[in-house]
């Protein structure tokens, strides 16, 4: 099986774009397709939503920080998706006293 990634992580994808091309035996491709698609959709969703929040905060002195739990077994991937979306993961900031507050608003 060969994988050719056409776009870098964090790139915007528009309708009709081909972000990657995968070639190999049909049986192997069909076996892996659904799982791979689920991973890509989940991680892209995390990065996209994070980027939307980061964009709203651009220019302010506020930092967007990921402090929430992750899906079991997907921690490294989900934290990476948060960084691709331009937020800070809790492991990447120095330990300082802080308070925790959740603020939500419609995108």
Select which of 27, 69, 91, 100 is catalytic.
69
Q: How far apart are CA 63 and CA 42, in angstroms?
A: 23
Q: Taken in order 70, 73, 76, 81, is the CA torsion positive or negative?
A: negative
Q: How far apart are CA 90 and CA 65, in angstroms?
A: 6
Contact 67, 87 (CB under 8 A): no
Q: Is 69 a catalytic residue?
A: yes
Annotated catalytic sites, by residue? 69
């Amino acid at each position: 099986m060969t994988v050719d990634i056409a776009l870098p992580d964090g790139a915007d994808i528009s309708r009709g774009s081909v972000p990657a091309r995968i070639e190999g035996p049909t049986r192997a491709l069909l076996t892996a397709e659904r799982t791979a698609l689920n991973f890509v959709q989940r991680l892209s969703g995390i990065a996209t939503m994070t980027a939307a929040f980061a964009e709203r905060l651009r220019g302010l002195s506020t930092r967007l920080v990921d402090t929430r739990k992750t899906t079991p077994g997907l921690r490294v991937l989900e934290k990476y998706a948060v960084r691709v979306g331009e937020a800070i993961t809790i492991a990447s900031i120095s330990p300082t006293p802080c308070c925790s507050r959740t603020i939500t608003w419609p995108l």
